[in-house]
Structure formats: structure tokens, C-alpha cells
Amino acid sequence: MRGVGVPHPRLPLPSPGGEDDPAEFLTWLGEAIPMVAHLGIREMRRDGARLTWELALTPSLNDKGTGFGGALAAQTTLLGWCWTTLWLRRHGLSRDVVVAEATQRFLAPVTGDYRLECLPEDEAGPERLNTRLADKGRGRIALVQRLWCGDTLCLEARGDYAVLPAT
């Protein structure tokens, strides 16, 4: 077991122009962040700028039998971190990412298995991040996460993710 303050080894970057295998990335993520094994993530997929997780509700149940807000908020934050990390990796960069700010707005109870989606708040966000990284060696991107239970939007979240300078 890894100790406090000991970083987990980074996943090797995909081949130039390649992408991460979603199952391999999720396996690594579960090793790097132990709570991931308890989130109920069944699938991860990317469609253009959108990163989506399919999740089982059972691991995140609250005392009322619906989704526990704290677990759902953690999932939105982690999905944004994954979006940023995977975007960097597709661009051949292995960098540290941290959440700088996160907010959630709960709209309806989560009453069954659900889908969590993440995409840039602004379509030009990824290009601005790319420019900032090239010019300053660090950058930031605003992402939006939405949690859908069937056709019902249950949660909207927003986060700013900072890409730290290379060490």
C-alpha cells in the first residue's frame, strides 16, 4: 500500500497521435486513487470533446435510497480531472492537474443508475489551454459536468482545472 505523500507512478503516455485505452486508464486510475474502485464506474468513453462515465447508483446511495450528494460531487470533480489529464495525454504531455475551484447544483434526486458527462464550458477552452501551456508552461480550463438519470438532468457542476508547470 502506498503511503501518504508518495505519488503513484504515472501511466506511460500513449503513442504519438494515439489515445488511452479507456479500460487501461480506469485500471490505472483505480490504483492511483483508491476510492475509484468504490464509485461504481461501469464504462468510460470519449466522443469528441465529451468524456462520459456510466455509473451504478448502489455504491453512492444515501440514507434515503437516492444518490449521496457528497459522492456525486466527488465524481464530478474527478471526471473533470480525468478529462483534463486525458486531454494532456493526447497532446503528449504528462503533467499534474489539480482542481482549483468546483461548484455543484443539485436539480433532482438520483434514483437509478446514471450517466455523468464532462465537456469544456467554452468550445475555445482547449485551444486557449494549449496556447497558455505553450506560452507560460501552465494553464487552466473550465469544464462542465452534467449528471443524467435517464432523461432527467439531476446535477450540473462546474470546475476550473489547473495544469501545473512541468517539474
Instruction: Specify whether the CB–CB gap between 140 and 122 falls below 8 A.
Output: no
Domain ranges of the chain: 33-99+109-163
DSSP 57: S
Note the CATH architecture for domain 33-99+109-163: Roll (3.10)
Q: Which residues contact 26 (CB under 8 A, 6 or more apart)?
A: 36, 41, 44
Instruction: Specify whether the CB–CB gap between 67 and 59 falls below 8 A.
Output: no
Sheet of 152-163: strand order equals 41-47, 50-55, 114-120, 139-149, 152-163, 97-106
Residue 141: closest CA among 128, 157, 150, 154: 128
pLDDT (0 to 100) of residue 167: 80
- Per-residue pLDDT of the chain (167 residues), as tens digits, is 678 999 999 999 998 888 899 999 999 999 999 999 999 999 999 999 999 999 999 999 999 999 999 999 999 999 999 999 999 999 999 999 999 999 999 999 999 999 999 999 999 999 999 999 999 999 999 999 999 999 999 999 999 999 999 98
pLDDT (0 to 100) of residue 61: 97
pTM, two decimals, is: 0.96
Residue 86: closest CA among 18, 140, 2, 40: 18
pLDDT tens string 130-165: 999 999 999 999 999 999 999 999 999 999 999 999
- The number of CA neighbours under 13 Å toward the Cβ of 111 is 7
